[in-house]
Each structure stands twice: as structure tokens, then as C-alpha cells.
Amino acid sequence: MSLRHPPEQIRIQLGARSYPILLGEGLLGAPDSWQELLPDASAALIVSNTTVAPLYADALRQELSGRFRSIDLIELPDGEQYKNWETLNRIFDRLIGMHGDRSTVLFALGGGVVGDMTGFAAASYMRGIPFVQVPTTLLAQVDSSVGGKTGINHPRGKNMIGAFYQPHLVLCDLATLQTLPDRELSAGLAEIIKYGPIYDLAFFDWVEANIDRLTARDPAALAHAVKRSCEIKAEVVGLDEREGGVRAILNFGHTFGHAIEAGLGYGKWLHGEAVGCGMVMAARLSAEVCGLDAGFVRRVEELIRRAGLPVRGPALEVDRYLELMRSDKKAQAGEIRFVMVDRPGSAVTRTAPEDVVRQVIADCRIAEVA
């Protein structure tokens, strides 16, 4: 099959670790456009889950056949609660079982959970084997498949164990978004919305004007949103691969969001839902600490609401939020660091007075404590 339009290509510039992101509608069925970009390897293991594999693994396997001596598939259980050592070990068991070596390539076919775990498996198996990201959720296409953050959760902290490890190639087939449940689409919109306030005000305006097209899955609107998001992520990661500085702004809303996810137990709220609500809290904190215009805070909140995301946090105790945020990776010596918008389209990372943080959480969460 050939594509109606040639795929868009965005390059992540990281010296020897540079790689392309290919974007296109129907990309999985058009291997001519990406075969030559695959790593030089003799065997492939497709890592997917019990939801995505039945939808897309056959198609991918078929397009890869002839290219590799063997193509195996492993179907992991589906869910954030399985992003852990036990599931990771299943990938290692399979690799060892199939005599995988350094000329084995992993394909991460699925959302961010599959992508993060597969990337970490690739980073650590035999001290590193190549992997290709084939993201099938909006969130994974606009964020998690790009930039090389890989890892798993610890019961006491989100993404606590992992590695920076870049994929060889990212294949974003926009057609896969049509089978995504509505709730997952909204979760992906959270990460798209994120890029505007912290980096690109014109993109924020565009998302605001097109949010109804995005929730209705208009292919042209989704294509633009995914492309611009990947361009921004590529620029930021190209400047700061290991989050020594500017890359931290991509965690806007995540400090609060990670506390929500861990506090409720992984899998209860989706990552994107927690980030959406976390951005409301972070925008309000930005108004208190950095003087961000209240009108812009309202626009952020309204856009998150229109994307179908929660704008009020769960009824955890404020102390519990703080306790969880202190174990966030951005915390330094127990001092919590927040990404704040200092003016629309620009962000900084800094601390905030505890009483102000407490007040923002109290104002933004649902009042009753379970």
C-alpha cells in the first residue's frame, strides 16, 4: 500500500544518537517509506500488549517479514499497574528464550507504557540493543515515544527506575488513533496542551481554536497537533537530552500529576488526566509565585476542561500530596521544584513557598477527603 501523502519527517538532533520521527496516516501499511531506516539487525521482537497486539501486530509483522530472520511477538498485560519489574522481566525472559543478541531489535508497539518498558529493556539487555518506537496512542505519539526517557514505576514513585536511551526510529501512524478510546484521546490532548503555555503561545492559540476538531479526531487537525508537538519536543530534547536544564519544562503539571497518580494507585487516573489536572494546579501556582496573568490561567483551565480532562484533583489529604511530591525526581534534598509559566509561552523551574502550594492544592482538589 502507498501513502496518500509522503510521511512528514522530523529529526531529533543528538549527534551520533540522532534519529527520525516519521508521521503519516497509514504508515504501518506502507513500509517502503521506512524500511531503509530500520536498524541493521537480523531478528525482531515486537513488544505489545493484549489490547494493541490484536489490532496492529499482524500488520507490523507482515511488513517486517522478509527483513528479519525471525519476528517474535510478546503480549504484555495492559495497564500502568504492570509497568514494573515483573513485566520487564517477561521481556528479558523472552529475549533470552529466543537467543536474542545484539543484532536483535525491539519494536515497541503500543502506548507510553509499552514504549517506556520496551525502551528500558532495550537499554539494559546485553547493555543495549536497538529499538524502534511504534506509538499507537496520542500521548505516545506527541510525547513519550520521543526523547529517550525509558523506565518503570516503583510502588513509591512514578518512573523511578529507568535510563535515557534513544530509539533508532519513531514510526507514528496517525491512523491508529482512530481506534483509541475517548478517554485515552483526552489523555493525549493533555500533553499537546502542555507545549503551548511553556514554549509556544501561537500553538496554544491554535489548540484552543481547534480543540473541538481534535476531540472529534479530525485527521488534519490531529496531524498538525502531533507534528507541532514532536517538533517542539525535538527542539527541547536537542538542547538538553538528559534534563540538566531546559528539558525540565516539559514536566509542566507533572509534579502535581505524579502525586495524583501515585496517591490514587497507578492506573486509576490515566497519566494524561493527572497531568491535565496537574497543569491547572501548576498554572494557578504560576499566578501566585510568578505573577502569571489570571486571564491566561483561566484559558488554560478552560482548554483542559474542553479536552475532556479533570480540572479538580482527587480528595487526597494536602499532606499526602506534599509527601508524594517530595519524592518526585525533580525534588532536590526534599525541596520540591515546580515548572511554572512565568509568561504565556515561557516556563521556569523553581521552588515555591509551602503555604502557597498548600493553598493551591486545597483550592483545586475536590474538598471531601475519602
Residues that bind ligand NAD (CB under 6 A): 49, 51-52, 55, 78, 80, 83, 110-114, 116, 136-137, 139-140, 143-144, 147, 149, 159, 176, 179-180, 184, 187, 271-272
Q: Which lies closer to ligand NAD via its Cβ, residue 279 or residue 292? A: 279
Q: Which lies closer to ligand NAD via its Cβ, residue 262 or residue 336? A: 262
Q: Which lies closer to ligand NAD via its Cβ, residue 103 or residue 124? A: 124
Q: Least Å distance between CB 110 and ligand NAD?
A: 5
Q: Which lies closer to ligand NAD via its Cβ, residue 180 or residue 297? A: 180
Of 46, 48, 21, 60, nearest to 142 by C-alpha is 21
**What positions carry a catalytic annotation?**
127, 149, 191, 233, 243, 247, 251, 254, 258, 271
Q: Least Å distance between CB 38 and ligand NAD?
A: 21
Q: Least Å distance between CB 108 and ligand NAD?
A: 10
Q: Which backbone phi and psi does 241 adopt, to 5 degrees?
A: -60, -40
Residue number with the smallest Cβ distance to ligand NAD? 112
Q: Least Å distance between CB 186 and ligand NAD?
A: 10
Q: Which lies closer to ligand NAD via its Cβ, residue 118 or residue 287? A: 118
Cell of 320: 499526602
Q: Which lies closer to ligand NAD via its Cβ, residue 42 or residue 178? A: 178
Q: Are 259 and 313 in contact (CB under 8 A)?
A: no
Q: Least Å distance between CB 136 and ligand NAD?
A: 4
